[in-house]
Structure formats: structure tokens, C-alpha cells
A = this chain, B = another copy of it.
Amino acid sequence: MVKGRKVDNVAYERLVNLGRETLQEINSDTSPSFYAPVRSRSNVSFSEDTGTLVLGDKKEKRTFVHVSQAKKFMQTIAIAAKLKKFLEEGLHTSIRGLFYQLKFSLGEDLDEELFSEQSESNPLIEDLEASLDLKREDFNLSTDRKGVVAGNMIIKDRFGGEENTIDASKQGRSGWMIPSDVDNDMEFVDVNADYVLVVEKDALWQRLNEDKFWKKNNCILITPKGQASRGTRRLIRKLADMKLPVYVFTDCDAWGWYIYWAIKTGSMNLAYLTKHLATPEARFIGVTMSDINEYDFLNKLTIKAKDVDIKRAEEMKSYPWISRHKEWVEELDIVLKTKKKLEQDAL
């Protein structure tokens, strides 16, 4: 194997350490193993301290000399080795690209494939993220991107060894497309705003961008275009770290509220990453069901809730970190009773 260039970052260090420990265990005749936090729902809870979903202490030992674990262990090490190579080469791929690159890595002569489906490799990537306490983006894995931003914000993007300065106040009708990774080889050199406004829908974003809302109100205007991507959540987290208040404005329906909650407390599937992705400081703004009950002109703007809204409302009521907020339970109950919704486009 050709040795790549040494990379000076935490992700690289942790991968090298994982390899080193594995080697030491082999050399000392121990079955190599590592611990990965359990990511199933039974190990997810709400933390009062952080105000986010977090993983509990349950860990699983993954060991090589074990009938049911040997293959998984080998697969995980193969992924870790590949990620190390990506960092050395300074190249990125998606988790699907990684799957294809490793699928046949056992060589042409073997009938066996390392992975037959992507559903085998994806959870092992999550194991590595969770056990090394980093995001896949830090290992040069790109994720689906969605979401746009405009505002007084200057970013230096040193992607692929070339530096570009992006001024998010000069992107016209388009805005700056929020990338998959807003951390590595990227610097927020100047953010000049009083707060962050996140609006659920792109149509509203376009409307507010046209009104130069972000300029007149000195804010950073973001739309996740529905459920927020990892990159968008991470950007919101970073802006909150810069002490900007974050307001999330969604449709008045359970679907929209869930978008708010996922930004605020993180989502169940990504509970192992809330430290990087969740923004517990985020506050909700928008019309509520109680407003609709109170003001007839709002009631007139409602339309019938969709089945997904009803289902989402039921789910949300079952989440303890939501159901302990009396005012949110009331809102969800009104959704379930009236089966109405009010979209932000109506306002």
C-alpha cells in the first residue's frame, strides 16, 4: 500500500490511533476490538444539561474473533482505512461512493464481496462517527445538501486547494447554496448580523430575499427547504456559536414544528451528533393553532391537514422532550382535533 501524505487534523489522528490500537492488540495476541455507542432508540434520551437529544452510556464491543462479529469488524476497519486514504489524498466522496469503492475491494479472485448492499456499510460509518466522536464530513464524506442562505456573511472556501471568497450578501436571487461541509477548509471571516432567521420554505425565502429583508433587518436569512440537511443544521449551530439568536419560522402544522424541533434538539437518528448539529438556543416563531382559534381571519387561511401532518402530530406527542411542554401538547391536540393547518405562504 502506498503511504499517503500525513494529514494534520483531528479526524486523521483518530483514524491512525484506531489502526494503531488494533495493531497493538493483534501483536499482543488479543482479539482486536473497539467500542461503539449504541445508537438505537433505547439509548437515546433528552438531556437537560445540553437541551438536546443525546446518546446514553450503552456501548457495544465489536471484536474480530467472534463468529457473528468478525465480518462486521473487518468491514469497519476497511472503511476506516479508506477514510484515512481520502484524507491523505484530500478527496471526497459520498457514502454511496464509499460503498461502491469498497464493494469489490476483496479482489477479483474472490467470489465474496466486502459489501453487497449499501445498507451494510452505512451503519458502520455511523459507528465510526459515534466512536471517534466526529462527523462523517470530517472524514471527507459528503452528504446530501439542501438549503440556501443570504446575509452579511463572508466565507473563505479553500476547497480543493483553491481559495474563493464568497460574499453571501452578493448572491442576487440565488443565495449561497449551503454546502455539505461548512467546517473543513472553510472560514467564516466576517458575519455581521443581529440574528438568524430560518424559514421553512424556499418560496418564502425567495420572497424575503426579494424584499431584502435580511439587509433591512440585518439578519442571516436561511431556508432549509423543508427538513434541514446536516450542512444546514451545522451552519445554524455555528451561527449560534457566534452568539446570534436563532429564530425558526415554519408552517403551522406538525410537519413544520418537527423541522423546528429537529434543528433545536436534534433528531433521533442523528442523536449521536447533536453536539455538532443541534441548536437548543433556537426559538420558534410563527402562527400557532391557538392563534387560529383566536383570530377568525387566520382561521379562514387554513387548509386541511395532510395525513403526514396528523401522523407527525401523534408521533411528536409521544416524544417525552416535547410532551413535557404543555403548550406544545395543546397545539398538537388542536391539530389532531381540527385536522387543519396554516401554511406560511398564506401570510
Which A residues contact B (CB, under 8 angstroms)? 91-94, 96-97, 100, 103-104, 117, 142, 144-145, 148, 157, 159-160, 162, 164, 166, 170-181, 186, 202-203, 206-207, 210-212, 300-301, 303, 343, 345-346
Complex Cα gap A179–B178 (Å): 15
Q: Provide the bound-state CA to CA distance between A191 and B88, in Å.
A: 35
Chain B CB within 10 Å — which of A96, A172, A176, A212 has the most?
A172
Say yes or no: A96 contacts B177, CB within 8 Å: no
**A13 to B126, alpha carbons, bound, how many Å?**
58
B144 touches A159 (CB 8 A): no
Q: How many copies does the complex hold?
A: 2
Q: Which residues of the other chain, B, contact A178 by a CB distance below 8 angstroms?
A: 174
Report chain B residues within 8 Å CB of A210: 91-92, 159-160
| Residue contacts A-B, CB under 8 angstroms, 5 given | A94-B206, A142-B203, A164-B170, A174-B178, A177-B177
Beta-carbon contact of B300 and A104 below 8 Å: yes
Given A210-B92, A210-B159, A210-B160, verify A100-B345 contact (CB < 8 Å).
yes
Across the interface, do B173 and A176 meet the contact criterion of CB distance under 8 Å?
A: no
Closest CB in chain B relative to A175 CB, distance in Å: 6
Taking the nearest CB of chain B, how far is it from the CB of A50, in angstroms? Answer: 30
